[in-house]
Structure formats: C-alpha cells, structure tokens
Amino acid sequence: MGKKKWLPTLLSVATIVLSSCATASSTEGEARPVNRTPSLDANKRFYIYGDEHSHDFLPVSWMGAAPKVCSLDVDCPERPVAGSRCIRMKVFRWEPPHWAAVAWTVPGPNGKGKPYWGKEPAVGWNLTGASKLVFSARATRQCKIEVQTMAFGDQRFGDSSSFGLMQQVELAQEWQRFELDLAGEKDHLSRVICGLVIGLNGGSTGAPPISVWLDEIFFQFPSAEANVEPEPLSDSQGRVLYDNKHHGVSPVDWMPAEAGEMVLLDPAFKPEPTDKNTCIKMTLKEWCSPHWCAIAWVVDPENKGQPYWGDAPRQAWDLRPFDELHFRARADRRVKVQFKIGVLGDKPYGDSAFPPIQTNFIEVDTQWKNHVLKLKDKPRDLSRIVTPFCVVWARDQQVETPVELFLDDIKLVAVKKNPEKR
C-alpha cells in the first residue's frame, strides 16, 4: 500500500471517530458569531503558544489514533527555544489508523478543555492581514510531520478558509524555525478557529516511541518596519567579507558582556610595519567567568560600527545563492576554535537560520590554512542573515591563554556545478 494521505481527509475521519465530543445545536440559517480582532505584541505577533503570551487556542481536538497512542505536555521544560517551557507531543505506539493529530482550537460552546469541531457557534479570531504562521520544532530523530492551519473550513461554524494550508516539514534533533506562507489565504483569514494541527503517521515518523517538541507558535503580521528587504549581493559567484578591509560587515557583537575583558581585536593588523596587506588579529588574553567568548560580524551597510542584537529592523543579506563560507586562519600555537553563521536566530529581526550553521571546534595551527563552512549540509533558511561570520572560544576546549588568532580572506562562495554530460 502507498503512503496514506491523511490530512486532506482529517475532518471526515474525525467526525466519525469523535462526533460524540461535539453535538450540533444550531438551526439552519443561524449566523456565525462576530469574531474577535487580535491585539498584537510589539513585534506584530499573535501567539498560539509562547511563555509570555496566552490566547485561548487549546490542544483539545485529538484525531485519528491520538487519544490512544499520544501524550501531550504543554509545560515541558526540555530545552525550550525561549522562556522556560515548550510543548512535547509523544507517540508511544501505533495502532489503526496509524496516524495521530492534535488541533489547537478556540473554545466551543461547551467551554474550555472540550473538543471543538466547528459544528456549533463559537467565537473565532479575525486574523485578516496575517502574513505567515511561524513555529519552531525539533524531534527525537530526523522525521517528517504534517502541519496545518485552518483545517475546519468544511464545517458550518468552522474556519473561513475552505481548504486551509498544509505543509510537510522535516525535523531534526536541533530546533529549527519554520514558516507557513499565508499569502494564498489572505482573503480567507476573517475567521480562524483552528490555529494549528500537528500530525504524525507511521510512514513518515518511523517506529515509536518518538517525540516532537514545539515552541514559539504565532501568526506574524507585517509592518513597514519589519519588512526590511535584504541587501542584494553584487556578485553571484562570491561575496567578500574581509580582504585587507571589511566589506559591509563589522565585528561589533561581543558575547557575553565579559568578552571585552577576555579578548582584544585588531581589524587591520600588519605583521610587519612595511606590509601593505592586513589581516584580523584576535588576542585571547585571559579567561574569566563564564569562560567562553565570541565575536560576531554583523551586516553593517551604513558602516556605523554599533552592536546589533536583532531587536529592531536592520538590513540583512540573502545568502541563498551561496554554498560555502571560505576563510584562512592561523594561530601563534595550536588552538581549537569554532566558527558560525546566523547566531541571532531567536530574535525578531535577527537571522532566519535557526539554529546557527557552525563547525565543530576545529584545530588551527601555526601555518595559514584554508577552511570551509558548508552552508547547505543541513536545512536552514538563508534568506535573511545579519551575522554572516562568528568566532567562538571556550575554555573547555583546552584553550590556554594568552593566544593569538589571525584571520584573512573571508568570503561567501557559490560552488559552480559541473554541467551534465550529454
């Protein structure tokens, strides 16, 4: 048998399995209740789930085998993206029909905590103008899940969208941020009663047990400030960040607050006074708590040289045309250092890549060597990058002080593909 396409028929099955949870009480011709207009936070977000945000979407509508094979913890403390909690959905076994889904819906006429399927009048949310549904997710292992919003459009008092929006996403063990583009639904957002559906099935998730974690789930509304277009790159084959001088970036984000006590930076170091060429010199002087430090290079089109932490609009780079980050490095003695791209992924105007793209702690010796950080080995959103380069030191990597690190020829590269043989 082929893979079961379960979500398009989600509601028809749910109606049969769980019809006892919702009893129709309306009469023919009864009008829908007036829907609420949401109050947005400072970042133009309307939350379904988040530590500091609470609206009345609740995970009460369970479908398929979910009531028998699933558990749900909405206050899970295991490595949340933000705050102190996240959602954990666990499938501990499979039984027919071998799929399970949980829907976050508004309260129905029977009150909070009761399933609601859109058969009876209930007040929804008018989310007209929302541009995307955003969520972060990870899993026990690499797997695929189904994500849907506005799934109850075939019900009399359901969603104003007839079909809703569904997407299959591939999860990894680390957190990733996902977005469902609502552009095709812009005229059908006047009534949302089903904010989110998360579905798993045996064909795409594999053998149980398996857990999926979710966090920071919200509808994003556009604003003039938020829609800052990424600065186009001038060369499709490469973009230089540093070669004798910085190009469009500044090494201004020092982490943590104690980094200035640990590190010295010379952005135009000359090994000899007569040298025409320069390189970057980082000197790790001494350790102090918390015994790690990092410097991130930030896109700085106006060359202001000020730290940027992703809390306000800022131009960024679209790195989707590029495959690799190249750089040269040496040290005054052997040392282990880590290199990253996209370290502000948890910020409203930060990096779209989440978590960061990074190397392991790699060994740098006393001779200049070329290094490569591959950008596309793991799925990441590279459409908006504000921190295209970052250097990290950690004492637990046996770094003794003082030590000097030298960097040069930092650039983004689009790898030329070999033409197909004819």
Give residue 33's pLDDT: 66
Encoded tokens for 112 = 């909070």
Give the SS3 label for residue 260. Answer: helix
How confident is the model at residue 19, as a pLDDT? 36
- Give tens-digit pLDDT for 338-386: 999 999 987 778 888 878 999 999 999 999 999 999 998 877 888 889 9
At residue 416, the pLDDT reads: 66
The reported pLDDT for the residue numbered 231 is: 65
Those residues whose C-beta lies under 8 Å from the C-beta of residue 142, and which sit 6 or more positions away, are 170, 171, 172, 173
Which residues face 246 on adjacent strands? 242
Query: Which residues share a beta bridge with 214?
Result: 87, 137
Tell me the domains of the chain and their CATH numbers. Answer: 7-220 (2.60.120.260), 238-413 (2.60.120.260)
What pLDDT shows up at residue 24? 36
Q: Which residues of the chain have pLDDT under 70?
A: 1-34, 42, 52-55, 223-237, 273, 416-422
Q: What is the mean pLDDT of the chain?
A: 84
> Measuring CA to CA, how many Å separate 28 from each of 32, 142, 157?
11, 47, 12
Q: Residue 386 and residue 350: Cα distance in Å, rounded? A: 6
296 in Cβ contact with 347 (< 8 Å): no
Using only C-alpha atoms, what is the Rg of the chain?
25
pTM assigned to the model:
0.59
- 238-249 burial code (b ≥16 CB/10 A, e <16): ebbbbeeebebb
What is the DSSP secondary structure assignment for residue 208, as one 8-state letter?
A: S
Which of 200, 170, 171, 165 shows the shortest CA–CA distance to 185?
A: 165
- Contacts of residue 188, defined as CB under 8 A and 6 or more positions apart, other chains included, come to 150, 153, 159, 160, 161, 162
CB of 81 closer than 8 Å to CB of 216: yes
pLDDT at 237: 63
């604003």: which residue's tokens?
223
pLDDT for the residue numbered 162? 80
Handedness of CA 306, 309, 315, 319 (dihedral sign): positive
For 92-160, the DSSP string reads ----TT-EEEEEEE--BTTBTTS---SSS----B--TT--EEEEEEEESSSEEEEEEESTTTTSTTS-S
Quick one: pLDDT at residue 290? 93
